[in-house]
Amino acid sequence: MPFGGADPGGGADLVTGASRLANVSPEPVELIALDEPAEGLISARRNGEPTFTHVQDIADAMLAALSRGADLVIPAQLYAELGEALPPELPPWVKVR
């Protein structure tokens, strides 16, 4: 038996995983407002993911977008409010609108 007890002829898990990756939503993670739903948090949303409601900080927002293979959208007004919390250079998948 191979390491970890995997089925030597089975690739079903790989196929299932690949299918899930093929169905990744293109919807971006969008930041909405500072100090919502509570002080120190940033309210956020992503269409098709109703349980996604907020992030802890800008690093958490960037990781949330990156882990989903999605863009991060920061409204221009919120971008100005975030100021020094933002890295000096934003990656291309972070959009300010």
DSSP letters for 4-54: GG--TT--HHHHHHHHHHHT---PPEEEEEET-SSTT-EEEE-TT-TT--E
Please confirm whether the linkage preceding 37 is cis (ω < 30° from 0): yes
**What pTM was estimated for this model as a whole?**
0.74
Q: Looking at residue 23, what is its pLDDT?
A: 55
Q: Looking at residue 18, what is its pLDDT?
A: 46
Contacts 24+ apart (CB under 8 A), 50-55: 55/31
| pLDDT tens track, the chain, 97 positions | 444 555 555 555 544 454 455 456 789 999 999 999 999 999 999 999 999 999 999 999 999 999 999 999 999 999 999 999 999 999 999 999 9
Closest alpha carbon to 68 in 26, 34, 18, 31: 26
